[in-house]
Structure 1
Amino acid sequence: MSGTTRRTDEGRGRLGSTLSGLAMALGCVLFLGGFAWGAVLYQPYTVPTDSMAPTITAGDRVLAQRIDGGQVRRGDVVVFRQKSWGDMPMVKRVVAVGGDKVACCTEGKLTVNGKKIDEGYLPEGQDAEAMGIPEVTVPKGRLFLLGDERSGSLDSTAHLTEAGSGTVPRTSVDARVDAVVWPMDGMLARPTGFETLGSLSTPGPLRLITTAIAVGAVLVLGGGAYGPIAGRMGRRGRTTTPEPAGAH
């Protein structure tokens, strides 16, 4: 009987060790794979000014998905470089694309193609009228960009007299901001005010990536902790379960 009990315990131990190893292996794949996937798709940026407040404030760390400029849609917050703007990474919101007519303001609201845009991301108490914009027709292949903090943003309105009327080529876009990761404000809210003009961008797989990393970490830690815990429980069981008298 004692021999049977020992064999049963050993079988359970081997099964537990196998499951623990599989959990740790899967956890490593998810954890490391998630980081690798994220590193390929996303680029971190630190935003130096409050021109996008309150959506993004000075010092915030954001994750931006590397995309082609042709994928940009109205309402996107993008990272771009434009030589005439200083040739450094800048973060602004796209409010109009090639072929659009943008102006400000009608009843205190920005208009695109004659439609008033509900900009829920503007600072509380501030409307679009903080900066007037004459009607501009955005050239094909270019973007009109504004900061959410209209009163202090050096954006397309500061370059209206340049070629392209303050617009930026789509090719200048490096990435689209998906989330603020420090402080942990999370994914950017969808700019639903632009839905009447066409479909919005779909966020990248950032949530899926973070889920894979989190699940991977849990599996690695859980699998690694199984061995010591199982060993203690096994020793405790052998100590507290006396062998029947006369058993051999």
Structure 2
Amino acid sequence: MSGTVRRTSDDHGSRLGNVLSGIAVAVGCVLFLGGFAWGAMLYLPYTVPTDSMSPTVPAGDRVLAERIDGSEVRRGDVVVFEEKIWGNVPMVKRVVGVGGDTVACCDAEDRLTVNGEPVEEPYLRGEKASYTDFSTEVAKDKLFLLGDERRTSVDSRSHLQDAGQGTVPLSAVRARVEGIAWPAGHWGILERPAGFAELPGGISVQGPLKLIVWSVVAGAALILGGAAYGPVAKLAGRRRGKDRSVAVA
């Protein structure tokens, strides 16, 4: 009699385990595929071709950039844009001035100033904010952009003598860089620079990239865990069967 009860209990546990593993796989598929679909809808991949954004984004790194409208851009954002006067190819630079700003460099401590206020830029890692002095007013609906590698970057400073005084129209912005996807050693989310936070308009809100990544990772874990239940349960069942045989003997 006791053997019959044990088998019934084992069968019930096995059926429950199969149901739970099936649910785990189903939920995992939703999270995994949903995360990828969400990411594909919101983000675009780009490869940074030069060192102009080093050390923040080294040359050759693959980045994920959130599709945005130019009106959503804030100071400190790293954006992807295309502008005819810059070669009409996707370029990646950091926004340091928006319409109405006076951007200048450098103050007595070699810092960039926006509307007379010095801006701390830790991503420069102790380098001067610019190795050429400049001062310019940014027209309405325009952006002033610099690379993080201020020694060699070809950016708004290089176009100061053009009609737009180095600025780029908001309409030229295609996306805002949220994180580095490849190589794995560089993977990470780009943090918003606090140095621009106190200026009017503040800094932009982080996109949903972290949530998307966690959705994909959690989904993959549930799929693998649910799929592994069957083989693990069978192996455990065989071991219990062997233990019973030894006990009966």
- The TM-score, its normalising length taken from structure 2, stands at 0.93
Separation of aligned partners in 2, 1:129 and 1:161: 17
1:190 Cα deviation after fit:
2.2
- What stretches of structure 2 of length at least 5 have no aligned partner? none
Shift of 1:215: 0.7
Distance 1:8 1:125, change over 3 A: closer
Displacement of 1:46 after TM fit? 0.6
Q: CA deviation at 1:244?
A: 8.6
CA distance in 2, matches of 1:176, 1:98: 18
3-state DSSP of counterpart to 1:102: strand
Please say if residues 75 and 98 of structure 2, whose CA atoms lie closer than 8 Å, have aligned partners that are also in contact: yes
Structure 1 partner of 2:51: 50
Separation of aligned partners in 1, 2:51 and 2:7: 68
SS at match of 2:16: helix
Structure 1, unaligned runs of 5 or more: none
**Match for 2:191 among 182, 189, 192?**
189
SS in structure 2 of the partner of residue 151 of structure 1: coil
Give the structure 2 partner of residue 117 of structure 1: 119
Q: CA RMSD in A?
A: 1.5
Specify whether residues 86 and 110 from structure 1 end up closer, same or farther in structure 2 by C-alpha distance, changes over 3 A only.
same
The structural deviation recorded for 1:240 is: 1.2
Distance 1:244 1:129 in 2: 81
**1:185 offset after TM fit, Å?**
3.6
- Structure 1 distance, partners of 2:18, 2:76, is 51
* Letter of the structure 2 residue corresponding to residue 119 of structure 1: E
Partners of 1:244 and 1:49 lie apart in 2 by: 71
User: Would the alpha carbon gap of residues 232 and 185 (structure 1) be closer, same or farther in structure 2, given more than 3 Å must change?
Assistant: closer
2:62 match:
61
- Equivalent positions of 1:96-175 (< 5 A) are 96-107=97-108, 108-122=110-124, 124-134=125-135, 136-175=136-175
Aligned-partner Cα distance in 1 for 2:79–2:130: 23
Contact persistence 1:131–1:150 (CA under 8 A): no
Residues 54-101 of structure 1: per-residue CA shift (max 9 Å, x gap): 111111111111111110000000000001110000000000000111
Task: Give SS of 2:106's match.
Answer: strand
8 A Cα contact 2:130 2:151, kept in partner? no
Aligned to 1:29: 30
